[in-house]
Structure 1
Amino acid sequence: MVRNFVSCRWAVAERFNVVVAHLMWSVLCLCMPLSVFSEEAPSFTRDIKGLLSDRCIRCHGPDAEDRHGGGEYGLRLDTFEGATEDLGGYAAIVSGNAQKSELVIRISEEDADLIMPPPEAGEPLSADEVALFRRWIDDGAKYEPHWSYTPIRRPIIPEVSNTFWPRNQIDRFILAKLETKGLVPSQEANRMTLARRLAIDLTGLPVSPEQVDEFVVDTSTDAVEQFIDTLLSHQGYGEHMARSWLDLARYADSAGYADDPPRTIWPYRDWVIGAFDNNMPFDEFTIAQLAGDLLQDATVHDAIATAFHRNTLTNNEGGTIDEEFRSVAVVDRVNTTLSTWMGTTIACAQCHDHKYDPLSQQEFFGLYAILNNTADADRKDESPLVSIPWEPLDVKRRPLEKELAAILKAVPEMKKITPKKQVQPRGEPPELRPLRKHTDTLRRKIAAVKTVTVPVMEELQDDKRRVTKLQYRGNWQDLGPVVKEHVPAVFPQPELADGQRVSRLKLAEWLVDRENPLTARVLVNRLWEQIFGIGIVSTSEEFGSQGELPSHPELLDWLACEFIDSGWDIQAIQRLIVTSATYRQSSKPTPELLEYDPENRLLACGPRVRLSAEVIRDQALAAAGLLSLKKGGPSVHPPQPNLGLKAAFGAGIDWKTSAGEDRYRRAIYTTWRRRNPYPSMATFDAPNREVCTIRRPRTNTPLQALVTLNDPVFVEAAQALARRIIRESEANVEAQATRGFRLVLTREPRPSEVERLVDLYEETCAKYTTQPGAAMAMATKPRGPLPEEILKHFDGNVSEAHIHLAAWTVVGNVLLNLDEAFMCP
């Protein structure tokens, strides 16, 4: 509402059509849907708040600078006190009396000059929406605090009629809601489907057909639980979990902006992977990343963890002002911290009070002040830095240092001949000159073995601390009053001793305090989203008033309580979710269910989710037998299309393809350049990580098919899959088609599917019989000549081998491009 809500109040009161409007309303009530007059009273949270937020709060909410109408400070409709304020004999809301409430009069108005919201602000409220407001006001206009700002309390487990279906308490919450809707759960997915689903969800990798077969025939009562525990301890678990966290951390191997120079920060990525592998409690995980340097007896690993907030962009362009971009980085840290841990978008409060949530600009800069006193300052050298031990470099350095030490011990005189004393070496004994040259060479080689350094957070000393001032309209040069460190008043406040300020460590501890109403809810919702494709709160990035309400609020709070009481154990929550009957359901909905609940918000069937960019690539390499499970270390450069990037953007982004097993590492180890993200992953919705990404979109475009059909990685994977099919199958074509199918999709193919694959294989063989050159290219480029172990299957006949391998490469390409291959079933 962008006009003065009460500017024409007396004109409205004097007009006869107000009376007519009420008479028309009485007639209209007789024609309204019965749902509007259901026995259930309107709920502020469920029915009213969303309408206020969408249609009214922008002009009648927390932002005092942009508030319209009402008294001296404008009309507020986001609070009971503001909405019921006496405006001179009338009020926007008269509790218990909709007929006298100015809000109802104005939203019922027909005159374009008087109606609210005004025409330029959008469509008028519907008759049903007006009726909801009337009923709510007549019922007392009870305001409720925003659901996500209320304390987390353990709810009562609901009773259900079907007591046989639930496997754990999650199922009772899901089933209770299904029963109120007259719905029943879907049947349980078969073991093969469940095996693929679990493996993809927990490790991001497919399991082998042999592992699946073993799981299928396991009749023990805890077979599924044992399979889950195996996956949770799999070395791929931490790598898979780290992917989504690195989106939040805006991790990249470059510093950003136009220049986008390389940045050595991969040890932070490895720290995150290790934290998930070791199931580090989430409260410790949080504190280490936000304030590891402030911990008592902090270690190098604690310092590396603080690189979470050194992933901010650094501008090295000529003519830029370091302080400006240092301030930009601090703003980004405020936004990222609130988004990552509290699902709260606070960015608009940098310039003005939040228009929808009770978050002021003063509070934004209270958080800014907490993060404003670290030693980094948008410097090109990325300081402060910490050196870390890294075995490959130590292996190079140790023998050189050992040899030098042995020489100096054997020839004590050499200690006196240091490089500084060699400017005038006339007093050097001739017999020592060759040895001196050798020691000089050793010293140069040792110096050439560079150490690995990582940018980290480091708090300024008290005498160098910056004074934080409010920035008018978010302008770093237009400063206002001094702002002290503090957190938003709408949340429980951290406990502080007299004179103690809110440090980064206090902020981190406050985020994972059990009384914080958001962190646990946000994290369990994110874990739920990673498995079901959509969170209990579908807007996982927004838990404020502009976000969606939770589909199962009691379940969300129960999971949050479980999370806290488990000691912030991420794997405990994941285990709860994937052992539930809800998770085990078939993902095939009936036509009726699909029409009733197209987004599967009620969870009457299991999840079916498109794989992430990284999993699509890793799965192709794994099915082909190419995937390297090597862990950690510097980021790598797998093959990518030759896009002429060097010519277009200069040598700074030249991509030198890695050799050996680094060519086939998991996608999480791929070099992440912000200005030039890896093409195949960008096509499948991976972000450039310039800013924190809470939730990736899932798009479906023709470019994606072009990638998986033609990208060098997928072409090579199809060739390797063809060789694996020949190597691991019986000689008959049906067995080979079945093997290829199972390597990609896990399950047994149906006879009709085998028949179609065999037909494709035979047609392609016939084609390549007349095109030997094309057959050789399809079978060997870029994978290379066929090895002897493949040729022996064709009695050494290279031409025949090329034809059959080319045909199986085409089949492999088809298998890797099936819709089912891109889905978690």
Structure 2
Amino acid sequence: MKYVDSRCRFLTFSFVFVFLGFARADESIDFNRDIRPILFSKCVSCHGPDEGSREAGLRLDTESGAVQDLGGYAAVVPGNPGASELVLRIASDDEDMRMPPTDKGKPLSDDEIDLFQNWIQQGGAYAKHWSYKKPIRPAQPSIEGDQWVCNPIDAFVLAKLEAQGMSPAPEADRLTLARRLSIDLTGLPPTWEEAKAFADDPSDQAYEAYVDSLLAKPSYGERWARVWLDLARYADSAGYADDPPREIWAFRDYVIDSLNQNKPFDQFTIEQIAGDLLAEPTEEQLIATAFHRNTMTNSEGGTNDEEFRNAAIIDRVNTTMAVWMGTTMACAQCHTHKYDPISHTEYFQFFAFFNHTADHDQKDERPVLELWSDEQTAARTALQHEIEAVKAQSNAPHPELLALQQELEKTKPRATVPIMQELPTNKRRTSTIQIRGNYLSKGEEVHESTPQAFHPLSDPTSPDRLDLAKWLVDPENPLTARVIANRHWEQLFGIGIVESSEEFGSQGELPSHPQLLDWMAVELQENGWDLKSLLKTIVMSATYRQTSATNEILQQADPRNRLLARGPRFRVSAEMVRDQALFASGLLSDIMGGPPANPPQPELGLKAAFGGKTDWTTSAGPNRYRRGIYTSWRRSSPYPSMAQFDAPNREVCTIRRIRTNTPLQALVTLNDPVYVEAAQALARRMITAGETEREKIQFAFRVCLTRNPTNQEIDRIKTLYTDAHKVFLKDAKAAAAMATDPIGEPIDGMDLAELAAWSVVGNVLLNLDELLMKR
């Protein structure tokens, strides 16, 4: 950055200052809201914390840097924009002087320049980034329409609506709420009987009782585990080109069980980060540490094991900060973060926490925990006793002894799971800075620590992973509770209060309702990190209960529903799309836990190109109809129908699934073998559910959409059925294919043409927007 003569500089200042004036001098400027977004998007990449890329020795990400004497002048002179170099540069008409330079971005707008002038006039004070300040429970706002308020959430929402001259929407009808709640809390629609009982219950306690019943279902854990498995990058294969199978399903079951038990989130955290370091860890706590064994391993011949071990540690660093702190730390792997206060050195101090584990990119996944059933343990113990008895009789080799030993060796555990395990003290690795992120370019030695921008470790003398885990859920941590509360809100409303749920740092979005987020974060912490309680509080609110119906005025005023003037409406997750089809068809299996399942999928023809490891042997019996969370997750070839609905490959941590809307999704739900079979099964249910066409259609609407059809809908479905039936009466081969492929032969006495026509109806109903969307 070049500087001009001071006399010329002040003359220019005077002109710029008078010309632009103080259009908003009477408005209070909020640094985080008004100044930080501009400063960090337009200035800090060149004038930030990274000394290696800092221009002209000027640092604008800190107040001390902004007011620093640069030789008789400063970028910011508090209270005096006319003497502030920053204002001169951003307002200059001279391209050689103006900041940012033309090759770095567009000039600031007049409004943005006004903001900087007024901010400096008001003192030019910086403020700590909002998310780096510990949340404090805010006072509940006083509002006029408080009769609408069910709990504090509504007070914060209504205060913002009233400030915008808007009102909340009416409450949705009971059947809609029954479906919304069931999908949100269990991932499945309610049965018609459940929904009707709730809708017909006039008591004041009906809503809360229904919520409690859903939270108590085992399917609650299955629904919410999906979110955590994305974060944990859980997969049933090891990744990279070879992508061999990996037996790690015990970790998936641990997550489901923990959520169903309502394990406090702080305990859930500590077990996964450092369960092996707890005093006398249980089998469950050791399984939990597989969270960080979900990293990919490369068993391809000729690869460098240390290179990929290092890559796994890098992934653990980035994942830990993203999952718990909502902070993108990866930039600091190669250089000091250009926007957030995380240095290159601090990155590798954090790296050191994970650098002493015993895993080392080996095909056998060591260290592993063997899981034995009670029956297996009893049988092994009996064999060992027999062996000892034979040995006691004679030390000489004995055929019976050999046979018993061979039998013992043949016994295998029901499963194994990779776990975390610390190296012995004498084998601990030395951690160093990796210059430019290259593991071969070693810099100075570093020791375990956390970034100074955050709260300190409780014991900084010789911290380990257990200290790190406790640091993540420390009451002084400004981020974890906010991040977790926001993530649960995002699942229910489609968008988080902080939309960039993966980024709470300076490059992230500001919260739409900052006080509400802080209230929920403090509530979560003070309520013992109770996740079910957090969810219950949200769904009990009037905000959540609003109808999702919209109108032209709402669409223009708030098209993305950021003000929450209506209820949530968005497409359900990939797993829910499939699970709902299986539920409506009656095919869905309720088998929980255990090895992954291989449901039907299209023939992909991968074997010729990639070998037999890409084979997909479809599971038999109930296993082919298990919930999507149990589907075998291969990183190199994710389950195709779920991938089309935005399921990730889980090579790395996925904080937020970005919803897409493509024609391929309709092709999946119309033609994929799972959905065709579901339509055929639904048709068989319709035929046996009622005598008349009207009764059959009514049944289908109830199981698919949790409501009764209108007369117009019944007439349209009747017409569809009649037209399809006529076609199939003329084409027996087409009727047989539509009615039986792939589901199999019909129940005795069912007419193929009739069954095929109802299968067409089932196919249409399973493709309705209303079924694929939560409304």
TM-score when normalising by structure 2: 0.97
Letter in 2 for 1:733: E
Whole-Å separation in 2 of the counterparts to 1:12 and 1:229:
73
Q: What are the equivalent positions in structure 2 for 1:345-384 lying under 5 Å apart?
A: 345-384=328-367
Q: Deviations over 1:294-314 (max 9, x none)?
A: 101211111100000000011
* Aligned equivalent of 1:257: 240
Structure 2 contact 589–623 (Cα < 8 Å) conserved? yes
* Aligned equivalent of 2:758: 808
Letter in 2 for 1:708: T
Whole-Å separation in 1 of the counterparts to 2:216 and 2:594:
21
With over 3 angstroms needed to count, the CA separation of the structure-2 counterparts of 1:173 and 1:15, relative to structure 1, is: closer
Structure 1 contact 401–446 (Cα < 8 Å) conserved? no
Letter in 1 for 2:696: Q
Whole-Å separation in 2 of the counterparts to 1:495 and 1:159:
39
Structure 1 contact 637–670 (Cα < 8 Å) conserved? yes
Partner SS for 2:146: coil
Q: Which moved more, 1:647-656 or 1:514-523?
A: 647-656
Partner SS for 1:121: coil
Given the alignment, which residue of 770, 775, 790 partners 2:735?
Answer: 775
Given the alignment, which residue of 20, 23, 35 partners 1:25?
Answer: 20
Q: CA deviation at 1:599?
A: 1.0
* Aligned equivalent of 2:539: 578
Whole-Å separation in 1 of the counterparts to 2:448 and 2:120:
40
Whole-Å separation in 2 of the counterparts to 1:534 and 1:419:
73
Q: CA deviation at 1:22?
A: 4.3
Structure 2 contact 601–672 (Cα < 8 Å) conserved? yes
Q: CA deviation at 1:389?
A: 2.2
Partner SS for 1:9: coil
Tell whether 2:259 aligns with 1:276: yes
**Unaligned stretches of 5+ residues in structure 2:** none
Letter in 1 for 2:447: K
Partner SS for 1:355: coil
* Aligned equivalent of 1:624: 585
With over 3 angstroms needed to count, the CA separation of the structure-2 counterparts of 1:503 and 1:445, relative to structure 1, is: closer
* Aligned equivalent of 2:707: 747
Partner SS for 1:547: coil
* Aligned equivalent of 1:66: 53
Q: What are the equivalent positions in structure 2 for 1:75-474 lying under 5 Å apart?
A: 75-390=58-373, 394=375, 421-422=398-399, 440=403, 443-444=406-407, 447=410, 449-474=412-437
Partner SS for 1:470: strand
Structure 2 contact 387–405 (Cα < 8 Å) conserved? no
* Aligned equivalent of 1:427: none
Whole-Å separation in 2 of the counterparts to 1:88 and 1:708:
68
Q: Which runs of 4+ in 1 moved over 3 A?
A: 14-24, 397-402, 404-409, 412-422, 439-446, 448-451
Q: CA deviation at 1:494?
A: 1.4
Tell whether 2:771 aligns with 1:821: yes
Given the alignment, which residue of 495, 519, 528 partners 2:458?
Answer: 495
Whole-Å separation in 2 of the counterparts to 1:217 and 1:504:
52
Whole-Å separation in 1 of the counterparts to 2:519 and 2:391:
71
Tell whether 2:663 aligns with 1:702: yes
With over 3 angstroms needed to count, the CA separation of the structure-2 counterparts of 1:802 and 1:116, relative to structure 1, is: same
Whole-Å separation in 2 of the counterparts to 1:223 and 1:420:
73
Structure 1 contact 173–554 (Cα < 8 Å) conserved? yes
Q: Deviations over 1:308-347 (max 9, x none)?
A: 0000011111111111111111111000000000000000
Q: CA deviation at 1:455?
A: 0.6
Q: CA deviation at 1:9?
A: 2.1
* Aligned equivalent of 2:726: 766
Letter in 2 for 1:290: I
With over 3 angstroms needed to count, the CA separation of the structure-2 counterparts of 1:820 and 1:88, relative to structure 1, is: same
With over 3 angstroms needed to count, the CA separation of the structure-2 counterparts of 1:675 and 1:90, relative to structure 1, is: same
Whole-Å separation in 1 of the counterparts to 2:514 and 2:387:
72
Q: Deviations over 1:536-588 (max 9, x none)?
A: 11111000000011111111111111101110000000000000000000001
Structure 1 contact 400–446 (Cα < 8 Å) conserved? no
Whole-Å separation in 1 of the counterparts to 2:91 and 2:40:
18
Given the alignment, which residue of 26, 29, 45 partners 1:42?
Answer: 29
Q: CA deviation at 1:208?
A: 1.1
* Aligned equivalent of 1:651: 612
Whole-Å separation in 2 of the counterparts to 1:579 and 1:556:
16
With over 3 angstroms needed to count, the CA separation of the structure-2 counterparts of 1:513 and 1:16, relative to structure 1, is: closer
Q: Deviations over 1:684-719 (max 9, x none)?
A: 001100111100010001111111111110010000
With over 3 angstroms needed to count, the CA separation of the structure-2 counterparts of 1:88 and 1:287, relative to structure 1, is: same
TM-score when normalising by structure 1: 0.91
Structure 1 contact 390–452 (Cα < 8 Å) conserved? no
Q: CA deviation at 1:25?
A: 2.5
Letter in 2 for 1:203: T
Q: Deviations over 1:335-372 (max 9, x none)?
A: 00000000000001011000000000111111101111
With over 3 angstroms needed to count, the CA separation of the structure-2 counterparts of 1:552 and 1:408, relative to structure 1, is: closer
With over 3 angstroms needed to count, the CA separation of the structure-2 counterparts of 1:23 and 1:624, relative to structure 1, is: same
Whole-Å separation in 2 of the counterparts to 1:824 and 1:347:
35
Q: CA deviation at 1:468?
A: 0.5
Whole-Å separation in 2 of the counterparts to 1:20 and 1:442:
95
Tell whether 2:492 aligns with 1:531: yes
Structure 1 contact 12–18 (Cα < 8 Å) conserved? no
Tell whether 2:651 aligns with 1:667: no
Whole-Å separation in 2 of the counterparts to 1:113 and 1:418:
94
Whole-Å separation in 1 of the counterparts to 2:396 and 2:304:
40
Structure 2 contact 80–120 (Cα < 8 Å) conserved? yes
Partner SS for 2:147: coil
Letter in 2 for 1:756: R
Larger radius of gyration between Structure 1 and Structure 2: 1
Whole-Å separation in 2 of the counterparts to 1:156 and 1:749:
46
Q: CA deviation at 1:464?
A: 1.1
Q: CA deviation at 1:79?
A: 1.0
Whole-Å separation in 1 of the counterparts to 2:674 and 2:483:
36
- How many residues get paired? 775
Partner SS for 1:373: coil
Given the alignment, which residue of 637, 654, 666 partners 2:598?
Answer: 637
Letter in 1 for 2:475: R
Letter in 1 for 2:430: V
Partner SS for 1:293: helix
With over 3 angstroms needed to count, the CA separation of the structure-2 counterparts of 1:453 and 1:420, relative to structure 1, is: farther
Given the alignment, which residue of 550, 553, 556 partners 2:511?
Answer: 550
Partner SS for 2:77: coil
Letter in 1 for 2:746: L
Partner SS for 2:455: coil
Whole-Å separation in 2 of the counterparts to 1:445 and 1:659:
31
Structure 2 contact 387–404 (Cα < 8 Å) conserved? no
Letter in 1 for 2:98: I
Given the alignment, which residue of 436, 441, 446 partners 1:478?
Answer: 441
* Aligned equivalent of 1:426: none
Letter in 2 for 1:231: L
Whole-Å separation in 2 of the counterparts to 1:704 and 1:419:
69
Q: Deviations over 1:191-220 (max 9, x none)?
A: 000000000000000111121111111111
